[in-house]
Each structure stands twice: as structure tokens, then as C-alpha cells.
Amino acid sequence: MTEKRAGMNPGETLRVLVAEDNKEMRRLLVWALKKKGFQVTEACNGPDLMYRLSTQAGPRTRYDLLVSDVRMPHMTGLEVMQGLQRMMRLLPPTILITAFGDDQIHRTARQLGAAVIDKPFELDDLIDKIEEILSRREATTSDTH
């Protein structure tokens, strides 16, 4: 029996895009999210993340949530978000993770609509943040129908 997560309708599998350049950290995040029943896609750097987000078109390719490292090779998570917003692309709810969480990064992330979790963090804290964000999304969606 699978546990029901907040923000999830029965039978619904939510798609999460994980962007992290550190292979071990990415594997850990993917493992934890799959264990919770999410369908997970991986991106290993900023350009890969930009490509995956810019090519989402329909419900089968759209991500319900993005979990991204801030500092990655070639393009940061913040730069990806800024670039997609300039292209008028809709971004999924986003959680940025960073080992360099200064006030400026937190402020910029909030302006872009993202939550920030500073490394190191407990996986349970990440899952709690995901469930909080998906609950808000579900409440917003049900209010508009």
C-alpha cells in the first residue's frame, strides 16, 4: 500500500525534475523521491535543466515540481529560472538547494517564486517542504475549479 502524499489525488503520480551536478547527491535525491512514489527525471547541469524545462509541452511531459541545486556547471539554477521567465515559460513550483545560501540567493529565489533549502539538510525536511508546496498547489487548483 502506498502512502498518500499531500497535494496528490488518488492514482496520480507526480513528476519531479531533479537538477544536481553532484552525482551522489542526485542519486540520493532521486532515491528518496522515488521511495515516496514520485516519478523522477534527472538533469546533471544547468543547460540540461534548461532543455528539459523548455521542452515540456503537454500534461505527460510537464513537471509538477522542480528540485534544483543553485550552483551547477555552465548555468545556475537561478539563471535557468530567470531565462525561462524571460522566455515567458511557466515554471513548476521550485525548491532550490544550496550550500551557499546567502541573503542575496534567498532574496532572488523568493523573487522568482522558489523556496530555498540550505545544505546540509535532512531528507525528511525536503520531503516536508515538497508536501507543503504541493498542498498549496492543490488548494489553489481546487479553489479555481
Residue type at 141? T
- The pTM of this model reads 0.86
List of domains in the chain: 15-140 (3.40.50.2300)
Nearest to 66 by CA among 89, 43, 35, 82: 43
Summarised one tens digit per residue, pLDDT across range 11-43 is 678 999 999 999 999 999 999 999 999 999 999
Distinct helix (H) and strand (E) counts, the chain: 5, 5
Summarised one tens digit per residue, pLDDT across range 54-79 is 887 666 668 999 999 999 999 999 99
Q: Strands, E, within the chain: which ranges?
A: 15-19, 39-43, 65-69, 94-98, 115-118
Cell output for 121: 539538510
